[in-house]
Structure 1
Amino acid sequence: MPCQTCGDAPSPGTDTCPRCRTPYGHPGVSPGLPTYPVRGIGLAAAVAVGFAAVVYLTVALAPVLALPLAEQAAADRDADLLLGAAVLEGILSLVFFLVQIAAGVLVIIWTWRARKNTDAFPGALPSLGVGWSIAGWLVPFANLVVPARVVANIARDTLWRPTRGLVALWWSAWLLFSIGDAWIGLDDQWEYATLAENPTTAAEFTGYVDYYRGAQLRYLVPAVACVVAAVAFVVLLRRISAAQQDRLDRATAAGWPSSLYPPAGGPYPPQPVTPWSPGVAPEQAPVSPPVPPQPGGTIGA
């Protein structure tokens, strides 16, 4: 019988599929363990991650848009134009923050579901518990390593082929983006704080022009890293989601109904009740023999 998980022909001398580590004759999904759909949440997370990358590119290019305003402000000695440039950067940064939060929430939900599903996959060998699929993103210092390990385990137990290169590319680019953006942002804030709050002289206006001119390429490296990390993660996310959903669908089509995979906390399918067998006489409680009435035992006797 071919492997019910990957469909490979059985190998002689072994009871386990060498490709996906599923025992021969065992369904691709262990009955009775909860599983969760990942196609919809995976698509939502992929869209959010891609949109966040696009928004960050506009943030990185904000100095290019603000430079003409600063030059016009210096020519006209009009500080209101500088205020417009600052408002533009502030709005773009706020939009990116909100989109990043939404993408982070969706990615965490997807990671937890995908990791939880691997518990129902025979042959899966996760090295970290399910709780790390959430805590790994939130705990300081752990979030520098744990999310990559969790996703790498999910990919290995879902795709049955090497994915270390793609995971390494995604996580290296993500760390470069996160650290580079934070470092450049702090330096950017310090330099902006040295500018005159209410410029009046030509030198003070020129300071703003020089600031925006120097900031044009400042975010180039984090911007490229952001795009690379987003593309690599979306590829991983889509491949894992499609493979897991296909595995769940095949298990259902093979005769393992979805009711065998209740969500955490229920509701669970009703269990059959064994009927009473007519060939076995039901036991009856012993009955005491009647006691004859005794004289004087009743009032008025």
Structure 2
Amino acid sequence: MLCSTCRLRPPVTDDGRCLLCAGPAGQPPVPPAPAFVAPQQYLRSPDGLAKAVVVLLAAVAVADLFAVAAGLNVRRVLGDGLDNGFATYDEAEVTLADDLYAGAGALQVLMTLATAVVFIIWFRRVRLNAEVFDPGAQPMGAGWAVGAWFVPFANLVLPRRIAGGIWAASARTDPDGSRSTVPATVMNLWWGAWVCSLIASRYTSQQYWKAEEPQEVIDAAGLLMATDALDLVAAVFAVLFVRKLTRMQGERAALGVYPLTVRPVSGRAH
């Protein structure tokens, strides 16, 4: 049975009204009771996807380390040749170094694409859960959790905006009904490192492919190595972000009660 006036809270008076509807003006305010318990089908655990993302991010980090090692090898081989005027030039060694570097780059692309696919699926999952936790905290529709990544230039801003809404909605609710604030340091570090890595990668790749002279190749390889190191750092922060947000959603879901403003997930763009 629910309150005869608001139809939201259990009745406590003889005439069937709840405390908030029946209490006199001078009565101490009573925190509003949770008005909606989300049906189980509206929430889906992101744990499995999060574990897959973490494993793939670890593979990205390994590929970055391999690329750094291959870059060092290219610089060593070309540097030795420059030191002696290529008097002892070994074409086979140079070819092997170049092939290893190309292989490292191909491995990075493969791991990055696989990680991106699973990460976006996980991102959409936590966004749909956030719709249940607090739809009012979401700045954009659920469909943008996927689409925002593919909008040129805007993909440097929009996914972070969406992540902010997910982060806010996934914070635990305090006993008094207010939303607790969770520092977004990990999320900001992940996003900043990823954007810097993306921009730096595009620039340094162009420099490497334009390089023709041995010294130009050495310099460009050094820039690529720095970018690979930055990408590795971004992968580490991404792991921390994924694990933190997934844990936050698990804790939030364990509370079992959600705001009255919840709308079915199927009512928004997917």
Q: Which amino acid aligns with 1:182?
A: R
Give per-residue Cα distances to partners, 1:176-216, cap 9 Å, x unaligned: 1110111011011101xx24xxxxxxxxxxx3xx3454345
Note if contact 2:63-2:104 (Cα within 8 Å) is conserved in structure 1: yes
- State the structure with more CA Rg: 1
Note if contact 1:49-1:234 (Cα within 8 Å) is conserved in structure 2: yes
Q: Which amino acid aligns with 2:200?
A: G
Gap runs ≥5 in structure 1: 1-11, 17-23, 196-206, 255-261, 265-301
Structure (1/2) with the larger helix percentage: 2
Written as runs of structure 1 = structure 2, the 5 A alignment for 1:51-90 is 51-70=59-78, 71=80, 74-90=86-102
Of residues 141, 145, 153, the one that matches 2:153 is 141
Of residues 119, 133, 152, the one that matches 2:164 is 152
Q: CA deviation at 1:163?
A: 3.3
Of residues 17, 29, 32, the one that matches 1:13 is 29
In structure 1, what is the Cα distance between the partners aligned to 2:209 and 2:30?
A: 63
Q: CA deviation at 1:224?
A: 4.0
Q: Which amino acid aligns with 1:52?
A: V
Written as runs of structure 1 = structure 2, the 5 A alignment for 1:85-96 is 85-96=97-108
If asked which structure has higher relative contact order (CA below 8 Å, sep 6+), I would say 2
Identical columns (%): 24
Q: Which amino acid aligns with 2:237?
A: A
In structure 2, what is the Cα distance between the partners aligned to 1:75 and 1:14?
A: 87
Q: Report the counterpart of residue 41 of structure 1 in structure 2.
A: 49
Of residues 31, 36, 39, the one that matches 1:31 is 39
Q: CA deviation at 1:122?
A: 4.6
Q: Which amino acid aligns with 1:242?
A: R
Q: Matched residue of 2:108: which SS?
A: helix
Shift in CA distance, 115/94, structure 1 to aligned 2, threshold 3 Å: same
Gap runs ≥5 in structure 2: 1-27, 172-179, 258-263
In structure 2, what is the Cα distance between the partners aligned to 1:162 and 1:250?
A: 17
CA RMSD of aligned residues (A): 3.0
Q: Report the counterpart of residue 174 of structure 1 in structure 2.
A: 194
Q: CA deviation at 1:229?
A: 2.1
Q: Which amino acid aligns with 2:29?
A: G
Q: Matched residue of 1:25: which SS?
A: coil
Q: Quick check: 1:50 aligned with 2:58? A: yes
Q: Which is further off, 42-51 or 156-165?
A: 156-165
Of residues 250, 253, 258, the one that matches 1:248 is 253
Of residues 222, 229, 236, the one that matches 1:231 is 236
Shift in CA distance, 246/79, structure 1 to aligned 2, threshold 3 Å: same
Q: Quick check: 1:102 aligned with 2:118? A: no
Q: CA deviation at 1:113?
A: 0.3
Q: CA deviation at 1:119?
A: 1.4
Q: Report the counterpart of residue 19 of structure 1 in structure 2.
A: none
Q: Which is further off, 120-129 or 103-112?
A: 120-129
In structure 1, what is the Cα distance between the partners aligned to 2:40 and 2:220?
A: 57
Q: Report the counterpart of residue 120 of structure 1 in structure 2.
A: 132
Q: Matched residue of 1:30: which SS?
A: coil
